[in-house]
Amino acid sequence: MADFDISPNICMYNMLVDMLSKEGQIKCAEGIINVMIKRGENPTTITFTTLLDGYCLQGQMGEARKVFDQMNAGGPGIDIHSYSILIYGYFKKKKVDKAMQLFREIPSKGLKADIATYNIVLQGLYGAGRCATAKLVFDDMQAAALKPGFHTYCVMLEGLCKNGHIDEAFLLLQKMESDGVELHIAMFTIIINGYCKSGKLDIALSVFCSLHSKKLHPSVVTYTTLIKGLCEAGKLKEAEGFLVKMKADGYLLDSRAYNTIVHGFLKGGGYAEAKMHLEEMFGKGFSPDASTVSVLLDLVSTEGINLLDTVLKFPPNPHGEVHCKSSE
């Protein structure tokens, strides 16, 4: 640029810092910031926040904290986005107390946590199994006149389910409905998945059957979640029935759906059904993923030729997927 007498502006510098940071070239990104300063271009909060994000993505929380403190002491200043990035970084490294310490100090800096910040904190707390604290944070968010949106509710529902509080999650969903919250099929899929994993298939089926009365249509993920749950519980006929209904309703199975269904039948002992759907999967041009292949290979030693002839059709490739050989 200098050879053509072109002087980059702050936006161009920020784009370079962002690109290098996301690619893990943090030192190069810092070099760009030093060039900026030498040329009299003052780095902004966005510039440093981008660098902060780069360090967090690399898990270098010590360096990330240094950048954050530099911004706060004599630098361009910090904003709520800077806090959110550092908080997320700490949660990702399982440093929950440090993340919460940062979150709690936000008001003292004259800033206000937004929905994105709360979502990060809620997801981090549930991921760490701190359900009680998460519920308090959720209450604080509402007390701060911040209205939960689709993503927030999904974080709450999934967080409760993953920590074994499925009934509580279902109660929350029912309260959302009575409060007039706009419901989405993804919310019900989370509940169905929770009940399937906890072995409460009757409730999962009841929730699924209630969708029509709520004018909600099950997605491919909703169907495959229920089918997999039924398979793993040994209810193979019921699972096959829902698969037939799914196809009759015009749903097209993608690679993920096929893998979920095949995996479910294999885990539930429905080897003949698994083979049939594998063949169908091959015919559609899809390949088993690493998880499906792993289950198949584990079963070959006990099931012998019944699965071996299927396994031999798809040698693994270096990318973790497998592709079937031609049967000709």
Domains of the chain: 1-78 (1.25.40.10)
CA distance 65 to 79: 14
Out of 15-19, 141-145, 268-272, the most confident range is: 141-145
Res 12: pLDDT: 83
Neighbour-count burial of 168, counting CB atoms closer than 10 A to its CB (0-12 exposed, 13-18 middle, 19+ buried) = middle
Helix (H, G, I), strand (E, B) or coil at 316: strand
Res 59: pLDDT: 94
Q: Helix (H) and strand (E) counts for the chain?
A: 18, 0
Per the rule left: phi > 0, alpha: psi between -120 and 50, beta: everything else, 188 is alpha
pLDDT tens-digit map of 176-226: 999 999 999 999 999 999 999 999 999 999 999 999 999 999 999 999 999
At 283, the pLDDT band (50, 70, 90 cuts) reads: confident
Torsion angle (degrees, nearest 10) of CA 243, 234, 197, 319: -70
Any idea which of 130-134, 141-145, 177-181, 237-241 has the lowest mean pLDDT? Answer: 237-241
Res 304: pLDDT: 55
At 22, the pLDDT band (50, 70, 90 cuts) reads: confident
Residue 328 pLDDT greater than 80, yes or no: no
CA distance 206 to 68: 50
